[in-house]
Amino acid sequence: MESNKDVVITRHPAKYVVELRINRPKARNALNRPVRESLADNFKAISEDPSIRCVILTGGDRVFAAGADLRDIADATPIEMYSRHVEKLWEAISACPKPIIAAVNGFALGGGCELAMHADVIIAGNNAQFGQPEIKVGIMPGAGGTQRLARAVGKFHAMKMLLTGLPISGTEAVSMRLASEVVDDDHVLDRALELAKLIADMPPIAAEQIKEVLLAGSDIPLNSALALERKAFQLLFDTNDQSEGMQAFFEKRKPVYSGE
């Protein structure tokens, strides 16, 4: 993993936790090509790094990410947009097997909202603003903003957000199931780190299997999803962490998980 001026990486003193922070405050953390590439490269590296068990994805105190950088795309032709294959950069995030926590303060609009929805847990500040305003500039979401949003909040909430471009607050996002928790703005990162520490202390293979099965099962028939769940459940009985967890339970001590 490598920090640069646009994406800053922090290894927390807490074991197994890393933070990725978008750092373009003058551009309201707009997602230009270098930011997308840096995020993709880092998530690929995180996916293969056994010393990382949980990721915090965040922006600044006043903005998470205010969408795509329109200067990158305003004059592009359809073939130019196709040739960029930006979907491959997004796939590096969606394919990451490690749990991802988005810590959202301020604006999470357009591509910023789509980025937050790539996370597994979203901690929102009271004054966070989630929205998909692409219709206001003559386009529509192109990185999951229709599909992930509808799956999260349902057809009618999604249609209202997408067709009006109006944002919702952090409190509304929780009530609509677009966020996991809402906290005071100055507690967002602290709460994300608290949860990251908790998750990082869990057996990582079990955490990765939970994430994989939940996401894969959401788009297949229930019977198939239950079969997938059973197989993953059975697989975990071949891990050292399963033995350690159950033995620690019997011995009334805290387990120490090795990730094996």
Instruction: Identify the sign of the CA torsion 64, 77, 88, 37.
Output: negative
Q: Would you say 114 and 143 are in contact if contact means Cβ atoms under 8 Å apart? A: yes
Amino acid at 42: N
Q: List the catalytic residues.
A: 68, 111, 114, 134
Q: Would you say 11 and 45 are in contact if contact means Cβ atoms under 8 Å apart? A: no
- How large is the greatest C-alpha to C-alpha distance in the chain, in angstroms? 65
CA distance 176 to 188: 19
Q: Is 17 helix (H, G, I), strand (E, B) or coil?
A: strand
Helical residues (DSSP H) of 95-175, grouped into ranges: 111-117, 147-153, 155-164, 170-175
Q: How many Å separate Cα 223 from the centre of its chain?
A: 27
Q: Is 238 helix (H, G, I), strand (E, B) or coil?
A: helix
Nearest to 120, CA basis, from 137, 98, 144: 98
Q: Is 21 helix (H, G, I), strand (E, B) or coil?
A: strand
Q: Would you say 55 and 98 are in contact if contact means Cβ atoms under 8 Å apart? A: yes
